[in-house]
Amino acid sequence: MAIRTILHFPDKRLRDAGKPVTDFGPALQALIDDMAETMYAAPGVGLAATQIGEALQLFVVDCAGEDEPSDFRVFINPTFLEKQGSCTWEEGCLSFPGVQEEIDRAAKVKVRAQDRHGAWFELEAEGLLAIALQHEFDHLQGVLMIDHMGPLKKRMVQRKMQKRGDAAAAEPGGG
């Protein structure tokens, strides 16, 4: 297992849509393990393959609280079967370090996906898990958190991320 580099906005690869996963062999299993290690090290509750430069329809989530056992889940080739209600949730994103914004999402979802071995399953979710599923699914479509913001918030986040990128590039060994 290895910790992968997480792409930060405005990296253009974050806009790449993931391609369907067809091979569930050892390379995919290693990628899933790397994604888990990367997500936990960040730390985050979800990570899409596109966030580490792998244009695949794959994401992982673990919405368990600090005092709860792991609830690690793998979603491959996911689709939403239902979306119900609406809610506003303060979201963060590993590709937007330090940014927290309120985003409107469906309150309850039903998703169909494959697990790490290719078996199909369906899952109904609400609360943080529903939000995480929608957020990570967006990544697989090349849609980012910033795309759900109004024009003013979007400009503020773009400036913040640009300053962050400029500061990182100015550090010795940065860029």
The residues assigned a catalytic role are 136
| 163/98 Cα distance (integer angstroms) | 12
Helices within the chain (DSSP H only): 26-41, 127-140, 151-170
**Integer Cα distance of 96 and 119 in angstroms:** 32
* Residue partners of 9: CB distance under 8 A and separation at least 6: 95, 96, 144, 146, 157, 158, 161
DSSP codes, 4-41 = PPPP-TT-GGGGPPPBPP---SHHHHHHHHHHHHHHHH
Residue 28 contacts residue 36 (beta carbons within 8 Å): no
Share of the chain residues as helix, strand and coil, in percent rounded to the nearest 5: 35, 25, 40
